[in-house]
């Protein structure tokens, strides 16, 4: 499937061209690179061979693998762990609630997949290593970060597989999953979490603790809070009795939206403000995204904002 053109589904050519001039910069210094630069200060010191990449004009000839050249008649350069400036992960929530579409053209999972694809493409254009982690109740997918251009197709194929899986009632367990991520990622990295935060209310404190756990391990963390704005933020449903079903628990309730709308909006606003404030206190980026807004527009706005902070 990795070799199929269908694996390019989540890489929109228009969005790619619009994002081509942007770079995802880290506000904090993480292992292996200095903010805004693309050369590791540790290059050449106690480095470990990682993989090959095609020779580019200007590369030092001493790094050319002549044995590979003898076999392939092509020049390849040995790439070392420290040569990769930034290690980046997209951590994507694939739980049942992420399949909700509402009034938007894309479900939250599809929207998150387009975001992930754009970020993967952006990182690889910068010659930074990018990887993908998928979770619902547990971490079920882990594609380690690599900086080779051909890796993009594999990541896109994985995103497609996540979306094409038969829907099951999978609850969000972001807190436990992110704690697992924090333990499994060795070197310090930039971690972008894409989720609707539909965690059990009682687990919200645990979720914040897990994000702090990532920060404590030295990772820079960005949270993209993805919701369908009209229905999930504003509770804009027709004013008639409606049956609501929790896609993660199966629980059902009948109510008239108008009777709950004001209280619901206040609760969502309070939760979002509390989450944003806690993230800010621990140097975690928190961005609200609405699936009714074009994902490339939302990502451009975020990257522009982030670039001004560097």
Instruction: Identify the pLDDT of residue 21.
Output: 66
Mean pLDDT of the chain: 80
CA-based nearest residue to 250, from 176, 148, 169: 169
Instruction: Identify the pLDDT of residue 180.
Output: 92
CATH topology of domain 5-26+85-307: Rossmann fold (3.40.50)
Sketch the domain layout of the chain as residue ranges.
Answer: 5-26+85-307, 49-83
For residue 133, give both structure tokens: 């982690």
Output 200 or 64, whichever has higher pLDDT: 64
Residue 43 pLDDT > 60: no
Residue 84 pLDDT > 60: no
Instruction: Identify the pLDDT of residue 40.
Output: 38
Instruction: Identify the pLDDT of residue 168.
Output: 64
Residue 303 pLDDT > 70: yes
Output 11 or 6, whichever has higher pLDDT: 11
Each residue's pLDDT tens digit, 92-114: 999 988 999 998 999 999 999 99
Residue 140 pLDDT > 80: yes
Answer for the pair 126, 37: CB distance below 8 angstroms, yes or no: no
Output 1 or 138, whichever has higher pLDDT: 138
Residue 48 pLDDT > 60: no
Q: How much is the average pLDDT of 225-242? A: 87
User: Using only C-alpha atoms, what is the Rg of the chain?
Assistant: 21
Residue 307 pLDDT > 60: yes
Q: What is the largest CA-CA distance in the chain?
A: 75
């Amino acid at each position: 499937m990795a070799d199929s053109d269908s694996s390019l589904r989540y890489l929109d050519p228009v969005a790619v061209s619009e994002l081509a001039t942007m770079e995802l910069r880290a506000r904090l210094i993480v292992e292996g690179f200095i903010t805004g630069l693309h050369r590791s200060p540790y290059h050449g010191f106690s480095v470990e061979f990682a993989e090959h990449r095609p020779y580019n004009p200007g590369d030092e000839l001493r790094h050319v693998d002549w044995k590979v050249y003898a076999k392939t008649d092509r020049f390849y350069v040995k790439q070392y762990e420290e040569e990769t400036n930034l290690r980046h992960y997209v951590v994507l929530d694939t739980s049942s609630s992420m399949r909700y579409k509402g009034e938007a053209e894309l479900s939250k999972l599809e929207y998150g997949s387009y975001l992930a694809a754009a970020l993967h493409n952006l990182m690889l254009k910068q010659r930074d290593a990018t990887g993908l982690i998928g979770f619902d109740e547990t971490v079920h997918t882990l594609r380690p970060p690599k900086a080779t251009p051909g890796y993009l197709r594999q990541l896109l194929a994985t995103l497609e597989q996540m979306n094409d899986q038969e829907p099951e009632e999978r609850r969000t367990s972001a807190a436990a999953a992110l704690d697992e991520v924090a333990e499994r990622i060795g070197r310090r990295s930039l971690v972008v979490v894409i989720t609707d935060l539909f965690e059990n209310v009682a687990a919200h404190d645990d979720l914040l603790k897990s994000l702090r756990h990532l920060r404590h391990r030295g990772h820079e963390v960005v949270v993209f809070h993805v919701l369908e704005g009209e229905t999930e933020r504003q509770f804009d449903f027709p004013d008639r009795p409606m049956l609501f079903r929790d896609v993660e628990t199966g629980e059902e309730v009948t109510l008239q939206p108008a009777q709950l709308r004001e209280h619901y909006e206040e609760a969502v606003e309070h939760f979002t403000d509390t989450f944003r404030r806690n993230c800010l206190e621990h140097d975690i980026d928190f961005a609200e995204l609405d699936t009714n807004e074009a994902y490339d527009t939302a990502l451009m706005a975020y990257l522009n904002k982030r670039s001004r902070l560097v």
